[in-house]
Amino acid sequence: MRLELKDVTKTYGSVTALDHFSMVFEKGVYGILGANGAGKSTMINLITDNVKRDAGERGGQILYDGEDVLKLGSRFRGIVGYMPQEQGYYDDFSAEVFLRYMAELKGIPKRKAREQIRELLEVVHLSEKAETKVGGFSGGMKQRILLAQALLGEPEILILDEPTAGLDPKERINIRNYIAELAKDRIILFATHVVSDIECISDQVMLLRQGKLLMVDTPQKLIESIRGKVAEVVCTPQEAQTLRGKYKVGAIRQRSDGLILRIVGEELPPEFPRVDHDINLEDVYLYYLE
């Protein structure tokens, strides 16, 4: 099981959304981090063929087990589960009918579809809402039904674009833990702005900036790469404003003796107390991508 992007480029007029992008995905969870416009959605849309590659050699190749996914056609689409960031809904469909409809589009036999739908509604905590129309769902419930449809057919490749948007903390943890379990026998691409969602479950984290793959490594090694580059400073609100103008500032906490600013940067004053044992992926994101 191997998904490979080889020298993939995508342009929109004069804008290069993905720039000679190469990456190999094998079993496991790949967290994808990047600011808006970094190329995350473009990469996903190229893999799912929702967006056409640039013509000729310039577009590069996307291969699954050595074969171009465009040549595989419906066979490739049959092994991909995709949860888009936004999707149109049939508001008059109940949750169960919506999933049955999606199962038919995927060509899943009816008996197998019924079993999977029942199981997936339990996984996303919507069993009691099976007969409720999707149009009456909250934003978080719609996210959960989108995740359920992506899992129909037990896909070998699962692509999730902001899967926890709109979920409360408890549901976010439940979904995150379930995704971690799924990664044992499939490839999972997890694009998000919520760094904490991927920190504990990603085997590899990809950092994208301006259409290029800046770095990819384990969370531990990415964290190690900025050791000595993170500090915390106790200061007044006035001092905080000055520091914000000079450094990348992350978390801010209030304490009885003042504000605590988390500062990330290459050149930090020696008097700033360094943080060496409490660095996290949010610090990594701030250091490399902000």
Ranges of each domain in the chain = 3-218, 224-289
Averaged confidence pLDDT in the chain = 90
pLDDT tens track for 254-275 = 888 888 989 998 888 888 999 9
The model's confidence at residue 224, banded by pLDDT at 50, 70 and 90, is very high
Quick check: 58 pLDDT over 80? Answer: no
pLDDT (0 to 100) of residue 54: 87
Q: Which residues of 164-197 are buried (b: 16+ CB within 10 A; e: fewer)?
A: bbebeeebbebbbeebbebbeebbbbbbbebbeb
Residue 160 pLDDT grade (very low, low, confident, very high; cuts 50, 70, 90): very high
pLDDT over 70, % of the chain: 99
Q: pLDDT value at position 246?
A: 87
Q: Over 90: is that where the pLDDT of 163 sits?
A: no
Residue 139 or 81, more confident: 81
Rg over alpha carbons for the chain, rounded to the nearest Å, is: 21
pTM of the model: 0.89
Token pair recorded at residue 51: 């967006």
pLDDT tens-digit readout, 168-207: 888 788 878 888 888 778 999 999 878 888 888 899 999 9
Topology of domain 3-218 in CATH is Rossmann fold (3.40.50)
pLDDT cut 90: percent of the chain above it: 54
